[in-house]
Amino acid sequence: MEQKFREFTKTDVSLAVKNHYRKMRQNQTFDYVKRMHNKYLNFNNPMELWEAMYSLDNLIDVSDPDLDLPNVQHLIQSAEAIRNDNRPDWMQLTGLIHDLGKTMYLWGCDKDGTSQKEQWGLVGDVFVVGCSLPESCVFPEFNKLNPDMENQKYNTQNGIYQDKCGLDNLTLAWGHDEYLFQVLKNHKTNDLPEEAMAMIRYHSFYPWHTGMSYSSLLNEKDKQYLEWIKDFNKYDLYTKSNKTYDLDEIIDYYDPIAKKYLGDTLIYW
């Protein structure tokens, strides 16, 4: 039987997934996201890229209904699928690192939703904060639990944003995507193409890339972004399997690619 992915409505979808999304919707307000930017985007924790990869051997993403392997396995599965399709080396590297922002759990806490136990500020589909929540959000019944939806400043279609301001001017719910994007933007050498940085930043933005919401906020450039993200999403989603890899065995192949695009792989988190 063909394997299906992201079936959030099936009856056996774990209670943990549903609880995760309830907490995420309740807690991810505009003010919360701004606080997290201030708290986590300081880039004063040096850690080797490969050490960060190893750290994801101890993290299982609670929001993912399709995979209960350590996250590092998902990263290797994605990268290896991109490599098998003979896609460019930068895209293979992007597959390998796209979820590396989850390493935030190492210095996260339950209160922020950034810990091993509480992951609602770390993983899961993201949405825009500062404007109304679309029905395309997973578990849309939780939208009304978001305190910003009571605030006239934030509960209209465009909220605080200008019409057609474009994706890069929106503030998204806090999580591993924006975190890694900002960490890599701050990294002293970053020759990753714009496509890679967009894939990293927007891959969890399902209400946009799959739900097709937020059309009043998008600009011309975002059409290009959508093509890139759709292309990447195949590898993020459809490569999930029980096949496991040994990280030590794939480092030799990927390390030169990481050095080619990032220079020194000591990263400031």
Q: State the residues that interact with Fe ion by CB under 5 A.
A: 99, 236
Helix (H) or strand (E) holding 266: strand 266-268
Phi-psi group of 244: left, alpha or beta (phi > 0 → left; psi -120 to 50 → alpha; rest → beta): beta
For the bound state, the minimum distance from the C-beta of residue 124 to Fe ion, rounded and expressed in Å, comes to 9
Degrees, nearest 5: CA angle 45-46-51: 115
| Distance of closest approach, residue 5 Cβ to Fe ion, in angstroms | 12
Q: How does DSSP assign 47-81, residue by residue?
A: EEHHHHHHHGGG---TT-TT--S-HHHHHHHHHHH
Q: What angle do CA 189, 246, 185 make, to 5 degrees?
A: 20
Distance of closest approach, residue 223 Cβ to Fe ion, in angstroms:
22
CB of 198 to Fe ion, least distance (A): 14
Q: Nearer to Fe ion by C-beta: 99 or 148?
A: 99
Locate tokens 């597959």: which residue?
95
Select 222 or 236, whichever has its Cβ closest to Fe ion. 236
Q: Residue 80 or 236: which CB sits closer to Fe ion? A: 236
Q: How far is the CB of 70 from Fe ion (least distance, A)?
A: 13
Instruction: Give the nearer residue to Fe ion in terms of CB position, either 148 or 195.
Output: 195
Contact indicator for 115, 105 with CB cutoff of 8 Å: yes
Q: Please, which residue, 132 or 182, has the CB nearer to Fe ion?
A: 182
Write down the least CB distance from residue 149 to Fe ion, Å: 25
CB count in 10 Å sphere of residue 166: 15
Cα dihedral across residues 146, 62, 78, 103: positive or negative = positive
* Closer CB to Fe ion, 126 or 262, in the complex: 126
Query: Which residues pair with residue 128 across a beta bridge?
Result: 172
C-beta nearest to Fe ion: residue: 99
